[in-house]
């Protein structure tokens, strides 16, 4: 996890512009570099480093003697870099996983490069010999990337939007800052003036397609094909374990977020098992946050005892959570209701990890709900086919919601997040399964995933079959949800009259509740006029919901009242 920033064709003094690069310093607390491009005095790179792999030679932009005309700034981890090196006979100059991007590009161009990378990434690649600039981002947008491109060819690129919004340019303030789409790459011509012109934007991978890099995976072929239940369960276990194993690549201490729900518990259990197998000689630290005796704390405690992790509990108090709202919204760059609610706990537990421990590489369970149909409202899906379509929609929008939350809340404290449920191979296999297999069954969501691990003894049965609990709800007590606590506080902060006129003040995605209005006010304070970053609020489907919390749905109420 790092922070990348680059400008091409700046009319303003670069020493002034580079102040914007400091807005993402939290992403890389270990080192910083600002470097001009030879022959292009108005082009430069900025890089904030979190040293996780090759601590000696990992500074960026990466340049190697073999390709003096290539400049690479990337944020991410390429898990198959050693397999690619072996398959193609690449001669590496460093131990940095990202160096493989230079070799792949030299061998086969940008299309092959993006398609062959097994990992999470956002990168800026400059080829001064062919006068090209390339931008690319991984399939699910696990690593963030924003860009601004003016009509006259000034390009700014950054890991977070906050590093671009204050850039100066001769024609105007740079206003059209937008997220770079996941699973895409862009080709731009670099002019002698340092300005650029976009040539094409190409989608290189869809979540349903088996990735091209399967040939360079540690598990090359599954032992058996077909959709009979035992085969499917076995393949799910093999691919999930493989997803966790490849993410063990790190020179810094590994930890794991543990809410006590199915997803984080499975990640923690498999992670600890694999760490023992490869003789990692320190205990796995797991981290839970919640109010005293909240469902998440109690469940996480049970999991930690079962797997034998060194468990840490962070007790959340209401005042601390409320005080964190503004800094959380600033970090997130969104005003989405459920994203903010869930981010407060994750932001505070990340703060604890950074201050109180030496864990830096943090595993988490993001992506499972979208992939395995874990949200409560999937019980209301009209058909398995519509449920499958909804699952794919949610995966495509992860970069706006859960993946955004997970990245920003951890990156704000200089931590690197790893999300095995979003492994390209695992997700494409799961999505290839018949729609009927993937739906909730017997009133239980994520039924297939739970069933796949039932005989593994990785988790206590009551955790493996624990019903879905939204993170923002599970950290509070059963009697009063975290969202209710927030609403009670905000009710005193927003006047009824303000809410009545909300649609006039904020015509795009107008706030419908005081809570929503309160978040929007804070967002506009820091990112005025940028409301289009959020195309729509996250809301459950097929139910008449006015609030995104699972606890407002009938299915949840009946389950907890039995």
196 lies in the same domain as 236: no
185 lies in the same domain as 237: no
Least confident of 37-46, 52-61, 288-297, 505-514: 52-61
Cα separations in angstroms, 485 against 21, 332, 471: 37, 21, 14
Residue 557: pLDDT band (50, 70, 90) is very low
User: Helices 514-526 and 325-332: crossing angle, nearest 10°?
Assistant: 60
81 lies in the same domain as 10: yes
482 lies in the same domain as 347: yes
184 lies in the same domain as 242: no
Q: Is residue 233 part of a domain?
A: yes
Convert the pLDDT of each residue in 316-351 to its tens digit: 989 999 999 999 999 999 999 999 999 999 999 999
CA–CA distance, 346 with 231 (Å, rounded to integer)? 36
Q: Give the model's pLDDT for residue 55.
A: 58
Q: Tell me: is residue 7 an annotated ligand-binding position.
A: no
Contact indicator for 90, 100 with CB cutoff of 8 Å: yes
Asked if the model's pLDDT at residue 558 lies above 50, the reply is: no
CA–CA distance, 491 with 408 (Å, rounded to integer)? 27
SS3 letters across 507-544 = CCCCCCCHHHHHHHHHHHHHCCCCHHHCCCCCCCCCCC
Asked if the model's pLDDT at residue 466 lies above 90, the reply is: no
User: At which of 203, 232, 267 does a domain end?
Assistant: 203
Q: Is residue 353 part of a domain?
A: yes
Q: Is 201 helix (H, G, I), strand (E, B) or coil?
A: strand
Q: Is 260 helix (H, G, I), strand (E, B) or coil?
A: coil
Nearest 5°: the CA angle 555, 348, 396 is: 55
Q: Is residue 119 part of a domain?
A: yes
152 lies in the same domain as 232: no
Question: Is 44 considered catalytic here?
Answer: no
Give the CATH number for residue 410. Answer: 3.40.50.620
Asked if the model's pLDDT at residue 471 lies above 60, the reply is: no
161 lies in the same domain as 287: no
Percent of the chain with pLDDT over 90: 78
339 lies in the same domain as 450: yes
195 lies in the same domain as 278: no
Q: Give the model's pLDDT for residue 224.
A: 76
342-367 burial by CB neighbour count: b if 16+ within 10 A, else e?
Answer: bbbbbbbbbbebbeeeebbbbbbbbb
Of the candidates 451, 446, 288, 253, the one whose C-alpha atom is nearest the C-alpha of residue 362 is 253
Residue 217: pLDDT band (50, 70, 90) is confident
Q: Tell me: is residue 97 an annotated ligand-binding position.
A: yes
Contact indicator for 499, 514 with CB cutoff of 8 Å: yes
CA–CA distance, 189 with 204 (Å, rounded to integer)? 19
Give the CATH number for residue 29. Answer: 3.60.20.10
Q: Tell me: is residue 496 an annotated ligand-binding position.
A: no
- 395 contact partners, CB below 8 Å, separation of at least 6: 140, 207, 367, 370, 371, 427
Mean pLDDT computed over 121-142 = 98
Q: Is residue 500 part of a domain?
A: no
- 198 contact partners, CB below 8 Å, separation of at least 6: 149, 186, 187, 188
377 lies in the same domain as 234: yes
Asked if the model's pLDDT at residue 556 lies above 60, the reply is: no
**Which residues lie across from 203 on neighbouring strands?**
184
Least confident of 294-298, 457-461, 542-546: 542-546
Least confident of 196-210, 449-463, 469-483: 469-483
Contact indicator for 365, 356 with CB cutoff of 8 Å: no
Asked if the model's pLDDT at residue 82 lies above 80, the reply is: yes
CA–CA distance, 542 with 46 (Å, rounded to integer)? 46
Q: What is the mean pLDDT of the chain?
A: 91
Q: Is 125 helix (H, G, I), strand (E, B) or coil?
A: strand
Is the torsion defined by CA of 385, 387, 388, 389 positive or negative? positive
Asked if the model's pLDDT at residue 559 lies above 50, the reply is: no
**Cross-sheet strand order for the sheet of 31-37:** 31-37, 40-49, 3-8, 155-158, 146-149, 178-179
Mean pLDDT computed over 34-44 = 88
Q: Count how many domains the chain has.
A: 2
Residue 28: pLDDT band (50, 70, 90) is confident
CA–CA distance, 394 with 160 (Å, rounded to integer)? 22
Q: Tell me: is residue 522 an annotated ligand-binding position.
A: no
Q: Is residue 551 part of a domain?
A: no
Instruction: Report the phi/psi class of residue 269: left, alpha or beta, with left for phi > 0 and alpha for psi in -120 to 50.
Output: alpha
Distinct helix (H) and strand (E) counts, the chain = 22, 17
Q: Give the model's pLDDT for residue 476.
A: 60
Contact indicator for 37, 128 with CB cutoff of 8 Å: yes
Asked if the model's pLDDT at residue 216 lies above 90, the reply is: no
346 lies in the same domain as 309: yes
Convert the pLDDT of each residue in 363-404 to its tens digit: 999 999 999 999 999 999 999 999 999 999 999 999 999 999
Catalytic residue among 2, 43, 73, 207: 2
User: At which of 487, 509, 543 does a domain end?
Assistant: 487
Of the candidates 119, 125, 134, 137, the one whose C-alpha atom is nearest the C-alpha of residue 83 is 119
Residue 550: pLDDT band (50, 70, 90) is low
CA–CA distance, 153 with 381 (Å, rounded to integer)? 46
Is the torsion defined by CA of 520, 522, 523, 526 positive or negative? positive
Instruction: Report the phi/psi class of residue 84: left, alpha or beta, with left for phi > 0 and alpha for psi in -120 to 50.
Output: alpha
416 lies in the same domain as 370: yes
Percent of the chain with pLDDT over 70: 93
Q: Tell me: is residue 175 an annotated ligand-binding position.
A: no
DSSP for 222-240, please give it: -S--S--HHHHHHHHHHHH
Is the torsion defined by CA of 288, 292, 296, 302 positive or negative? positive
Residue 57: pLDDT band (50, 70, 90) is low
User: Which span out of 54-58, 126-130, 222-226, 288-292 was modeled with the highest average pLDDT?
Assistant: 126-130
Q: Is residue 521 part of a domain?
A: no
User: At which of 487, 519, 550 does a domain end?
Assistant: 487
Asked if the model's pLDDT at residue 486 lies above 70, the reply is: yes
Higher pLDDT, 226 or 558: 226
Q: Is residue 284 part of a domain?
A: yes
Domain hosting residue 479, numbered range: 222-487
DSSP for 300-320, please give it: HHHHHHHHT-EEEEEE--HHH
Measured from the Cβ of residue 399, the count of other Cβ atoms closer than 10 Å reads 24
Q: Give the model's pLDDT for residue 553.
A: 53
Contact indicator for 472, 553 with CB cutoff of 8 Å: no
Asked if the model's pLDDT at residue 135 lies above 90, the reply is: yes
CA–CA distance, 322 with 308 (Å, rounded to integer)? 33
Asked if the model's pLDDT at residue 282 lies above 90, the reply is: yes
Global pTM reads 0.94
Asked if the model's pLDDT at residue 360 lies above 50, the reply is: yes
Q: Is residue 371 part of a domain?
A: yes
């Amino acid at each position: 996890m790092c922070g990348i920033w680059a400008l091409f064709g700046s009319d303003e003094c670069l020493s002034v512009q580079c102040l914007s690069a400091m807005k993402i310093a939290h992403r890389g607390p270990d080192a910083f570099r600002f470097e001009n491009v030879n022959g292009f005095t108005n082009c430069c790179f900025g890089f904030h480093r979190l040293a996780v792999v090759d601590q000696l030679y990992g500074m960026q932009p990466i340049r190697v003697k073999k390709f003096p005309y290539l400049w690479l700034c990337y944020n991410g981890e390429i898990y198959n870099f050693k397999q690619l090196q072996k398959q193609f006979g690449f001669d590496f100059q460093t131990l940095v996983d990202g160096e493989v991007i230079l070799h792949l590009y030299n061998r086969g161009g940008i299309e092959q490069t993006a398609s062959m990378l097994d990992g999470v990434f956002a990168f800026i690649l400059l080829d001064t010999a062919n006068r090209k600039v390339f931008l690319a981002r991984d399939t699910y947008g696990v690593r963030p990337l924003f860009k601004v491109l003016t009509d006259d060819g000034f390009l700014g690129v950054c890991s977070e939007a906050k590093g671009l919004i204050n850039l100066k340019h001769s024609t105007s303030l740079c206003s059209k800052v937008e997220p770079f789409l996941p699973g895409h790459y862009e080709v731009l011509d670099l002019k002698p003036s340092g300005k650029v012109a976009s040539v094409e934007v190409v989608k290189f991978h869809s979540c349903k397609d088996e990735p091209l890099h399967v040939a360079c995976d540690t598990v090359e072929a599954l032992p058996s094909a077909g959709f009979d239940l035992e085969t499917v369960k076995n393949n799910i276990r093999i691919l999930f374990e493989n997803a966790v194993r490849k993410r063990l690549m790190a020179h810094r201490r590994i930890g794991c977020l543990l809410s006590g729900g199915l997803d984080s518990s499975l990640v923690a259990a498999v992670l600890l098992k694999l760490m023992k197998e490869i003789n990692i000689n320190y205990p796995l630290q797991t981290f839970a946050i919640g109010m005293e005796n909240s469902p998440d704390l109690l469940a996480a405690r049970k999991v930690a005892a079962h797997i034998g992790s060194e468990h840490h509990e962070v007790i959340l108090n209401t005042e601390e959570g409320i005080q964190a709202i503004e800094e959380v919204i600033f970090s997130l760059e969104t005003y989405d209701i459920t994203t903010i609610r869930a981010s407060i706990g994750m932001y505070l537990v990340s703060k604890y990890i950074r201050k109180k421990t030496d864990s830096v590489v943090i595993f988490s369970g993001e992506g499972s709900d979208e992939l395995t149909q874990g949200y409560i409202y999937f019980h209301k899906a009209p058909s398995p086919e519509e449920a499958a379509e909804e699952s794919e929609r949610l995966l495509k929008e992860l970069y706006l919601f859960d993946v955004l939350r997970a990245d920003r809340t951890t990156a704000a404290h200089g931590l690197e997040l790893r999300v095995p449920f979003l492994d390209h191979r695992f997700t494409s296999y799961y999505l290839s399964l018949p729609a009927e297999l993937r739906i909730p069954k017997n009133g239980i969501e994520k039924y297939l995933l739970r069933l796949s691990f039932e005989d593994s003894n990785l988790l206590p049965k009551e955790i493996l079959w624990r019903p879905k609990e939204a993170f923002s709800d599970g950290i509070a007590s059963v009697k009063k949800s975290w969202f209710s606590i927030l609403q009670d506080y905000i009710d005193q902060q927003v006047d009824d009259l303000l809410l009545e006129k909300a649609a006039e003040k904020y015509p795009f995605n107008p706030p419908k509740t005081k809570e929503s209005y309160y978040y929007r006010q804070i967002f506009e304070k820091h990112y005025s006029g940028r409301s289009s970053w959020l195309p729509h609020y996250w809301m459950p489907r097929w139910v008449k919901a006015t609030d995104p919390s699972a606890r407002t749905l009938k299915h949840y109420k009946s389950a907890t009242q039995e």
